Structure 1
Amino acid sequence: MLIEPISGLPSGSFFSNSVSNKELGSFEKLLNSEIKQIDASIEKADVEVRKLAVGETDNIHQVMLSVSKAQTSFELAVQIRNKVIEGTQELLRMSI
């Protein structure tokens, strides 16, 4: 059985110091935009729950869908945060 080499990978180490400030800035922007989207979905769900509570809407399906989306996106953000913290702690435990 012939195994073909993987092509298209950059040569050298994956852990090189070639990350520019522009790339770091784009990651920061991406992270901030995702957090804002999560916050917006939570606020939307809150508004829809309030409308349901005061009788402005009777579409409980849409309200529950918004609440479920907000809950899922928040739980995903928390799990990502936990993995980042876990990875950072693992790096700190490594001996040099």
Structure 2
Amino acid sequence: MNQINSIGPIQSGGSIEKSLGVKQQKGGPSFKDTFQNFLSDVNAMQQKADQSIQKMAAGEITDVHQVMSSVEEANVAFNMMMEIRNKVMDAYQEIMRIRL
């Protein structure tokens, strides 16, 4: 017959990560830094698309495909940024609904 062991006391002063054996990563980029870099990239794509449109209007660029490609690239990046923003806002609102 198997013996049932009792449950030990909760260890105080220890974190959940420590008790689960999760190692913390140090020196990696934070969410804030990652998101700011992403915003900078999206802004750069928007500016590149605007410059392409202006150059096409001025007659400097005749390749419509190049202009449309840069515009669509900026559009996809902007839409992805908005979806990430929406998910972050939804998560924040869900956290705010939690009662302590």
Asked if these proteins are the same fold (TM beyond 0.5), I'd say: yes
What is the TM-score normalised by the length of structure 1? 0.74
2:20 alignment partner, SS class: coil
Shift of 1:42: 0.4
1:40 maps to 2:58 = no
Larger CA Rg, structure 1 vs 2: 2
The structure 1 segments of at least 4 consecutive aligned residues displaced by more than 4 Å after TM superposition are none
Q: Distance in 1 between matches of 2:45 and 2:31?
A: 21
SS where residue 57 of structure 1 aligns?
Answer: coil
Cα distance in 2 for residues equivalent to 1:32 and 1:83: 16
CA displacement 1:49-90 (0-9 Å, x = unmatched): 001111111010000000000000001001100110011001
CA RMSD of aligned residues (A): 2.4
Q: What does 1:1-96 align with in structure 2 at a 5 Å threshold?
A: 12=20, 26-96=30-100
Unaligned runs of 5+ in 1: 1-9
Distance 2:90 2:31 in 1: 19
Cα distance in 2, alignment partners of residues 11 and 40 from structure 1: 44
TM-score (norm 2): 0.71
Residue-pair matches, total: 82
Partners in 2 of 1:78 and 1:13 — Cα distance? 35
Q: Percent identity?
A: 33
Q: Which runs of 5+ in 2 are unaligned?
A: 1-17
What letter is aligned with 2:20?
G
Q: Shift in Å at residue 27 of structure 1?
A: 2.7
